[in-house]
A = this chain, B = another copy of it.
């Protein structure tokens, strides 16, 4: 699920839970919900417990979570988080996605082509320093610039001093700024993956559903200097898994939530953001399905992209349906009215924060007229092509490198260049036929939306059809070649300016207008929203009080809650499924794809303990990005791994509710059972269970 719900939303908003209900909350590790845990569960985690869990947790930079599970750097995550790596390592002759993978020795472990992992080492509150750089007298443009400058500077200082990846994270949408320092791993090797048929058993029909029967795991190992790393912090693997009712914790990287968005903001998402995203996703789904149907090799080439699209489409349909439900919107409106009344009733609060809601309203009204231009040109919806992305990065890198660090676009700041080049120089295969159909279709979508008289389209197409232009660009560019990318990127502005590569030419052609739109967006939408939401956040702090957490920002968070089933349409849904249920589920669907079990499962059926738990549900507050998060018990032991939320958890994006919403995890017992009896992965079992 959500690991891949990397929302296309450019606008991501403040969130802040005021009066947390039930076991709501994606808590900061430097501000854990001590009082809540003590009061509800009589649990009081030590600092060492928290530090150990924090440093055992891993962020997958492509959008998911994971954890260390052995002293020798063994890493557990979801198959769908590892899928990107599996896909990039596969070719038409060895397809790890469909056949799975198992390295019996370190020597057999295969290096991923462009994966970066981050482990959070420390958090520092830098709010005063960031806020000091921005004064109320500044124009929105100056404020944006000043804030970006101080953030870039803090990051560079920290990176220079510590050698760690250093990110200033905006929390409470500008209410606070924290400096996160990460240890980075870029040599990550594949150890084990099951077949996609069991990792994603039930496919799109079962995605976001429960009961489930998925072995959604993938095992990697971190290396440094060509050797497995030794880590002090890793999670002890509990072979039995959790029990019904157990308090458990989830430590992972939820990507984005919108819990305290104003009603205007939610309406904008309902009426503009989601419909546009869904229409883009649906057209890409049809495009890639059509492409995939043509041959088995096409299907293999598009597998990962298609998974991401279908997953997002299903999630967004659920999210949109929630916002179209008047019951939910009424509840949102009521809680907003309560907060605003409190603000209005207090002259001091009113003067400080009273205008925030109107500012949000105005920001979106101002955004509407250029939303499509912004999304297509700067957001890249018009250019659904890896080669174009590479060209844009090269062109911008040349320009941005000439500026002082403080003035650069965020993604080109010095502290990020290494990660950026890791992607730019990736040897992941690029298939020209797939590039052409994707690029042509996105150009056509842009043309259909803004019409042929748009000046940029006119100049770009220059009397060609989208199909012809895409085909010509992909076939003639030299950017397939990593060496050529390096030559240009390392050559600097003069070399890039001199390039006549057609894709570079196109990236250059659209860049002035794209940058102008970005500037307009930052000044007229993003900055006013930042300032308004900082006010709303502060108003909430002051009027609600208590322990609070900010909206998700793809930074490490701690969630908690019990393992617990639920009642759906009058039917009791048990806390866990069993291994035996997998075979029944397959039979109910006549063993037809995506309900067809891989051969080893059919062959080893008798050896598998039928009553062992397979997947289980619990109430911790998660969202897309939590995919692969370890589930730990009070003792801090690994008892499972999050891989999905049920359909009823989709609205958690804007409102948590644990009556029927649930996180879905693979049980640690099922992981052991499968590794032992289906895959005979004795080396992995030995390492996981080593005392």
Residues of chain A having any CB pair with chain B under 8 Å: 203-205, 270-271, 274-275, 278-279, 282-283, 285-286, 289-290, 293-296, 313-314, 320-321, 324-326, 444, 447-449, 451-452, 461, 463-468, 589-590, 592, 594
Report chain B residues within 8 Å CB of A464: 326
Closest to A299 in B: B592
B444 and A290 form a contact (CB under 8 A): no
A465 and B286 form a contact (CB under 8 A): no
Closest to A450 in B: B271
CB of A180, distance to nearest CB on chain B (Å): 37
How many angstroms between the C-alpha atoms of A296 and B593 in the bound complex?
Answer: 11
**7 new A-B pairs (CB below 8 Å) besides A204-B293, A271-B451, A320-B444?**
A205-B294, A270-B452, A279-B283, A282-B285, A290-B314, A295-B589, A324-B466
How many angstroms between the C-alpha atoms of A184 and B295 in the bound complex?
Answer: 45
Quick one: given A279-B283, A320-B444, A465-B324, are A594 and B293 in contact (CB under 8 Å)? yes
A271 and B321 form a contact (CB under 8 A): no
Report chain B residues within 8 Å CB of A279: 279, 282-283
How many angstroms between the C-alpha atoms of A270 and B449 in the bound complex?
Answer: 11
CB of A535, distance to nearest CB on chain B (Å): 27
How many angstroms between the C-alpha atoms of A452 and B444 in the bound complex?
Answer: 29
How many subunits of this chain does the assembly comprise? Answer: 2
Report chain B residues within 8 Å CB of A294: 205
Report chain B residues within 8 Å CB of A444: 320-321, 324
Report chain B residues within 8 Å CB of A594: 293
A204 and B290 form a contact (CB under 8 A): yes
Which residue from B295, B326, B463, B466 sits with its C-beta under 8 Å from A465?
Answer: B326
Which residue from B203, B285, B296 sits with its C-beta under 8 Å from A286?
Answer: B285
A271 and B448 form a contact (CB under 8 A): yes
How many angstroms between the C-alpha atoms of A447 and B275 in the bound complex?
Answer: 10
Which residue from B275, B282, B314, B321 sits with its C-beta under 8 Å from A467?
Answer: B321
Q: 11 pairs across A/B with beta carbons < 8 Å?
A: A205-B294, A271-B451, A275-B449, A279-B282, A282-B283, A282-B286, A286-B286, A289-B289, A296-B589, A325-B465, A326-B461
How many angstroms between the C-alpha atoms of A449 and B452 in the bound complex?
Answer: 22
Closest to A325 in B: B465
How many angstroms between the C-alpha atoms of A270 and B592 in the bound complex?
Answer: 40
CB of A445, distance to nearest CB on chain B (Å): 9
B271 and A592 form a contact (CB under 8 A): no
Report chain B residues within 8 Å CB of A324: 444, 447, 452, 465-467
How many angstroms between the C-alpha atoms of A324 and B446 in the bound complex?
Answer: 12
Of the listed residues A204, A289, A313, A448, the one surrounded by the most CB atoms of chain B closer than 10 A to its CB is A448
CB of A369, distance to nearest CB on chain B (Å): 16
A275 and B448 form a contact (CB under 8 A): yes
CB of A440, distance to nearest CB on chain B (Å): 9
Report chain B residues within 8 Å CB of A278: 283
How many angstroms between the C-alpha atoms of A320 and B286 in the bound complex?
Answer: 16
How many angstroms between the C-alpha atoms of A451 and B272 in the bound complex?
Answer: 9
How many angstroms between the C-alpha atoms of A320 and B294 in the bound complex?
Answer: 22
Which residue from B203, B286, B321, B461 sits with its C-beta under 8 Å from A293?
Answer: B203
A326 and B285 form a contact (CB under 8 A): no
How many angstroms between the C-alpha atoms of A589 and B452 in the bound complex?
Answer: 39
CB of A125, distance to nearest CB on chain B (Å): 41
Report chain B residues within 8 Å CB of A448: 271, 274-275, 320
Report chain B residues within 8 Å CB of A293: 203-205, 594
How many angstroms between the C-alpha atoms of A486 and B179 in the bound complex?
Answer: 72
Report chain B residues within 8 Å CB of A275: 448-449
Of the listed residues A293, A296, A314, A444, the one surrounded by the most CB atoms of chain B closer than 10 A to its CB is A293
Report chain B residues within 8 Å CB of A286: 282, 285-286, 313
How many angstroms between the C-alpha atoms of A279 and B294 in the bound complex?
Answer: 22
Of the listed residues A204, A324, A447, A451, the one surrounded by the most CB atoms of chain B closer than 10 A to its CB is A324
CB of A421, distance to nearest CB on chain B (Å): 37
How many angstroms between the C-alpha atoms of A286 and B310 in the bound complex?
Answer: 9
Report chain B residues within 8 Å CB of A451: 271
Closest to A279 in B: B279
How many angstroms between the C-alpha atoms of A590 and B269 in the bound complex?
Answer: 45
Report chain B residues within 8 Å CB of A290: 204-205, 314
A463 and B296 form a contact (CB under 8 A): no
Closest to A309 in B: B286
CB of A210, distance to nearest CB on chain B (Å): 15
How many angstroms between the C-alpha atoms of A611 and B293 in the bound complex?
Answer: 28
CB of A199, distance to nearest CB on chain B (Å): 18
How many angstroms between the C-alpha atoms of A464 and B326 in the bound complex?
Answer: 6
CB of A472, distance to nearest CB on chain B (Å): 14
Closest to A296 in B: B590
B463 and A326 form a contact (CB under 8 A): yes
How many angstroms between the C-alpha atoms of A296 and B293 in the bound complex?
Answer: 19
Report chain B residues within 8 Å CB of A289: 289
How many angstroms between the C-alpha atoms of A592 and B300 in the bound complex?
Answer: 14
Report chain B residues within 8 Å CB of A270: 452
CB of A438, distance to nearest CB on chain B (Å): 14
Report chain B residues within 8 Å CB of A283: 278-279, 282
CB of A277, distance to nearest CB on chain B (Å): 11
How many angstroms between the C-alpha atoms of A437 and B324 in the bound complex?
Answer: 15
B313 and A271 form a contact (CB under 8 A): no
How many angstroms between the C-alpha atoms of A296 and B590 in the bound complex?
Answer: 8
Closest to A291 in B: B205
Report chain B residues within 8 Å CB of A468: 325
Report chain B residues within 8 Å CB of A313: 286
How many angstroms between the C-alpha atoms of A444 and B205 in the bound complex?
Answer: 21
CB of A39, distance to nearest CB on chain B (Å): 36
Report chain B residues within 8 Å CB of A285: 282, 286
CB of A494, distance to nearest CB on chain B (Å): 35
How many angstroms between the C-alpha atoms of A558 and B452 in the bound complex?
Answer: 37
How many angstroms between the C-alpha atoms of A467 and B323 in the bound complex?
Answer: 12
How many angstroms between the C-alpha atoms of A271 and B450 in the bound complex?
Answer: 9
Which residue from B274, B326, B465 sits with its C-beta under 8 Å from A321?
Answer: B465
